[in-house]
């Protein structure tokens, strides 16, 4: 029997806005419980996202429960039901598959629980979608690839269909290929099997052996990029292949700054900021405010050259050198305290 992994975190009211200034139910935040129901949790991005959720929940003074399905779609749906049974006031659904989460999300709505979804399309107009503008993540990375390599190159593409953010990034890939017929897609591969980077590396080794003319790899998820880089380094092809990705972490920055690293650019939002925005959007919804169908956090292009020129070693350095990366004025209100401000 598979057991759910649930963590209850009770946060105090440090940094909380004055209770009389906050609308119900946040005028009594100690009585509010929200749940984060996760599908993906492997990798630095998801650890940072969780830290942002925790920080914003603490700032609001609410209780946070974290339920982690570790990429088990059926278990994630069950965890939504667990959250409903616990009587939570709001739920953040983080990633997942539409076919498994659509009905589960509707059950939460039917139970009069406010829900927001980050990077999973639950096909429900009453559930706002939190996004990093995944289309732009892909588009900006590919524009940099064309800037660096021209509009004619042979590409490997790392993609797993059915995951909302990857599907949205795929739209950009298809558009760029159509607009630039000189771009040849030699191979498509990808997996979300744990550990993701190592599993992708195993695939990339075979792909590169079979397609020695590949000189660009579009890997629009940093765990994908890590895997491709492992294979490229092992094959001694780091001078011959450029890797373009999405998402960023301190470990990614270190990998991009290695001497002669093939990982030359990524496009990202600050995952901790996205976590905070997810909680703020849910709080606004719970307070009866209309946050719209989409809550979009704008991304930023980050190149290897920029990291090296500014001697950026970690996410704190990146935030200091890129103010637009440190915070996002998205889903805010005067009564919602923002961590770090």
DSSP 317-332: HHHHH-HHHH----S-
- The structure tokens 């003074």 sit at 61
Mean pLDDT of 70-75: 94
pLDDT digits (tens, 9 = 90+) for 238-275: 999 999 999 999 999 999 999 999 999 999 999 999 99
Question: What is the spatial distance between Cα 189 and Cα 226, in angstroms, rounded to a whole number?
Answer: 14
- What confidence score (pLDDT) does residue 24 get? 97
Closest of 148, 271, 171, 299 to residue 217, by C-alpha: 148
Closest of 298, 8, 330, 340 to residue 134, by C-alpha: 298
Residue 17 has pLDDT above 60, yes or no: no
pLDDT band per the 50, 70, 90 thresholds, residue 225: very high
- What confidence score (pLDDT) does residue 42 get? 81
Residue 220 has pLDDT above 90, yes or no: yes
Min mean pLDDT across 34-48, 72-86, 174-188, 271-285 is at 34-48
- What confidence score (pLDDT) does residue 33 get? 98
| High-pLDDT (> 70) share of the chain, % | 94
C-alpha triplet 221, 235, 187: angle, nearest 5°: 50
Q: How far is CA 162 from the centre of its chain?
A: 15
Higher-confidence residue of 6 and 237: namely 237
Mean pLDDT of 303-325: 95
Mean pLDDT of 71-79: 96
Residue 13 has pLDDT above 50, yes or no: no
Q: pTM, whole model, 2 decimals? A: 0.77
Residue 184 has pLDDT above 60, yes or no: yes
Q: Which is it for strands 300-303 and 263-268: parallel, antiparallel or unpaired? A: antiparallel
Tell me the pLDDT of the chain averaged across its residues: 92
pLDDT band per the 50, 70, 90 thresholds, residue 341: low
């Amino acid at each position: 029997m598979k057991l759910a992994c649930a963590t209850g975190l009770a946060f105090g009211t440090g940094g909380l806005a004055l209770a009389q200034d906050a609308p119900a139910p946040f005028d009594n935040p100690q009585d509010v419980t929200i749940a984060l129901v996760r599908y993906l949790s492997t990798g630095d991005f998801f650890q940072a996202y969780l830290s942002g959720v925790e920080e914003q929940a603490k700032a609001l003074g609410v209780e946070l429960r974290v339920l982690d399905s570790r990429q088990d779609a059926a278990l994630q749906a069950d965890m939504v039901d667990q959250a409903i049974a616990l009587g939570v006031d709001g739920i953040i659904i983080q990633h997942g598959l539409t076919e498994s989460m659509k009905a589960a999300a509707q059950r939460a709505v039917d139970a009069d629980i406010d829900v927001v979804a980050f990077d999973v399309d639950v096909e429900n107009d009453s559930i706002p979608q939190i996004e990093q503008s995944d289309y732009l993540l892909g588009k900006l990375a590919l524009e940099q690839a064309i800037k660096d390599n021209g509009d004619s190159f042979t590409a490997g593409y790392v993609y797993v269909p059915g995951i909302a953010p990857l599907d949205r990034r795929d739209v950009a890939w298809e558009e760029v290929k159509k607009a630039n017929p000189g771009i040849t897609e030699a191979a498509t591969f990808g997996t979300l099997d744990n550990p993701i980077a190592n599993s992708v590396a195993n695939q990339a080794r075979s792909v590169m052996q079979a397609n020695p003319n590949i000189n660009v790899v579009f890997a629009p998820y940093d765990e994908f990029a890590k895997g491709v880089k492992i294979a490229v380094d092992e094959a001694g092809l780091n001078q011959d292949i450029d890797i373009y990705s999405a998402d960023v972490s301190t470990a990614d920055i270190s990998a991009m700054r290695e001497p002669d690293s093939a990982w030359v650019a990524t496009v990202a939002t600050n995952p901790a900021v996205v976590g905070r925005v997810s909680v703020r959007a849910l709080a606004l919804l719970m307070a009866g405010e209309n946050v719209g169908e989409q809550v979009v956090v704008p991304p930023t292009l980050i190149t290897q050259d920029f990291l090296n020129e500014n001697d950026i070693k970690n996410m704190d350095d990146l935030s200091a050198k890129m103010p637009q990366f440190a915070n996002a004025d998205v889903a805010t209100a005067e009564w919602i305290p923002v961590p770090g401000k």
